[in-house]
Structure 1
Amino acid sequence: MTRICVAGGTGQVGREVVRQALQLGHEVSVVSRNPPAPGAEGADDGAEYYRADVTTGEGLVAALAGAAVVIDCLEGRSGRALRDFADGGARLLSAAHAAGVRKAVLLSIINCDQVPLRFYRSKAAKEGRYAASALETVTVRATQFHSLLVQLFAAGAKVGLVPVIKGARFQTIAPGEAASALLEAAFEEPSQELHRLRTVGGPEVNGMAELAETWKRLSGSRARLVRLPLPGAVGKYLREGGNLVPEHRYGSETFGSWLAKRADSL
């Protein structure tokens, strides 16, 4: 049995990491700025939740005590969390090193260093902090999650239009399978290479319009597909397949099969 600390263990992928680690028989501590109360929705039986904040370092010592591995699933989408995202990663790594943690695993995004958006740039900057750490690290770059497209389609459908970017293809991955890849990285054999990069993508590559039609069918939406051009560097990135890694397919849960399990809640 190994003790794992999951930073961001109440988020989409972090919760999956916690659940799977517990099923494997590991001890789990969770770092969260707003941890759930015992027995509340979002709290997994058997996990220990700590109120901690990587932007200040508060609470990290207690959460990391006794952990052999820390898995970083934190997100920083706006405000201070986005501004301090990379530095927060450095604080987590420093606290982990001081606590005797032997390895850190980071969840990141495929080719985040090629996209000129603040969110992607923050991911790339955080990868740099991991590559400079005194700890053994593995950065797992994943393609976009199935849920991202669901959010885009559902938001557009509220006004009767489902947006489809012309020329865009996606290789989306299930959050649970991204979590499995993180745990595999956490327990792989030590390497002479101190800092390693691993890439995982979903099992299929599909055009955005095809994915939108799948979502419409399973959600029952009658919204109309609207094909839109996306200019600039991000549009070029998508048209050229910078978000795809067909040589690194991982898992088996397709967009359609993942949606089918959630059809009642769409």
Structure 2
Amino acid sequence: MANLCVAGGTGQVGRDVVRLALDAGHTVSVLSRHAPQAGSEKHHDGATYFAGDVTTGAGLEAAVAGADVVIDCLEGQFGKARKRFADGGVRLLEAADRAGVRKAVVLSIINCDRSTAAYYASKSAKERVYQESPLETVAVRATQFHSLPVAVFQAGAGVGLIPVFKGARFQPISPLDAAAAVLEAALEPGSSEDHRIRTVGGPEVLGMREMAVMWKSVTGARGRVVELPLPGAMGRYLRAGLNLAPGHAWGRETFVSWLEKRRETL
């Protein structure tokens, strides 16, 4: 059994990593900005929680102490958090190195290094931090989560229009499947390669219009599906199919099955 430290272990993917690791009998410490209260959906009995901040370094030493592997599921989507995202990775890896951690795994996004979109660029910058670390490191690049197109559909449904982006297809993966891939990478035997990239995608490739129709059917949402152009870096990324990995279909949960499990909250 391994001793794992999950940074961002209260987030969407991180808390699934924590639960899967505990179920498998591993020892788990969790680093998050705020330690969750027992009984909350972000708290798992059996894990040890540490409050810390990778942007300042506070609390990192205690969280990584004794860990065999550090798993980085931290997010920084907006503003200062995104600007400091890669630097936070530096502080986390430095603390891990000082503690004698042998390996670090970071959750990333497929082909993030081929997009100039700010969020994707921040992911790519963090990957470079991991590549330059003295630790053995793995970047697990996942395709977009099922929730991404759903957020787009919901944004327009309020005014009776369900937007789909022209030429866009997705290979969405569930956070649980992504968490399983991250944990698997963390527990793999040591490698002679200092840094590796592993790509994981959802079980199917779907057109965005097709997904909108599925979403309407499952949720009962009303509105007209409207195809719109998506300008800028994200539009170029999607039209080029850089969000797809048909040769790396790893996830099991389809878009419809994910929707059906969450019917009451969508």
| Cα distance in 1 between the residues matched to 2:259 and 2:142 | 19
Per-residue CA shift, 1:123-173, capped at 9, x if unaligned? 000000000000000000000000112222112212221110011000000
**In the alignment, is residue 191 of structure 1 matched against residue 187 of structure 2?**
no
Per-residue CA shift, 1:195-238, capped at 9, x if unaligned? 10100110100000001111111111012211101233432221
Moved more, 251-260 or 163-172: 251-260
Q: Which residue of 2 aligns with 1:29?
A: 29
- 1:59-208 map, 5 Å: 59-208=59-208
User: Which structure 1 residue ranges, 4+ long, deviate > 6 Å from structure 2?
Assistant: none
Aligned residues: 266
Normalising by structure 2, report the TM-score.
0.97
Structure 1 residue 119 displacement after superposition: 0.7
Contact 2:117 2:233 in 1 (8 A): no
| Cα distance in 2 between the residues matched to 1:65 and 1:38 | 22
Q: Which residue of 2 aligns with 1:247?
A: 247
Q: Which residue of 2 aligns with 1:7?
A: 7
Moved more, 227-236 or 99-108: 227-236
Aligned-CA RMSD value: 1.0
Normalising by structure 1, report the TM-score.
0.97
Structure 1 residue 241 displacement after superposition: 0.7
| Cα distance in 1 between the residues matched to 2:171 and 2:189 | 28
| Cα distance in 2 between the residues matched to 1:38 and 1:10 | 12
| Cα distance in 1 between the residues matched to 2:160 and 2:34 | 35
SS at match of 1:172: coil
| Cα distance in 1 between the residues matched to 2:253 and 2:184 | 17
| Cα distance in 1 between the residues matched to 2:21 and 2:183 | 8
SS at match of 1:12: coil
Structure 1 residue 14 displacement after superposition: 0.4
SS at match of 1:129: helix
Per-residue CA shift, 1:29-71, capped at 9, x if unaligned? 1111022112333211111111000000000011111111110
| Cα distance in 2 between the residues matched to 1:257 and 1:166 | 25
Contact 2:11 2:42 in 1 (8 A): no
| Cα distance in 1 between the residues matched to 2:67 and 2:112 | 29
Q: Which residue of 2 aligns with 1:236?
A: 236
Same amino acid, percent of matched pairs: 64
| Cα distance in 2 between the residues matched to 1:153 and 1:4 | 37
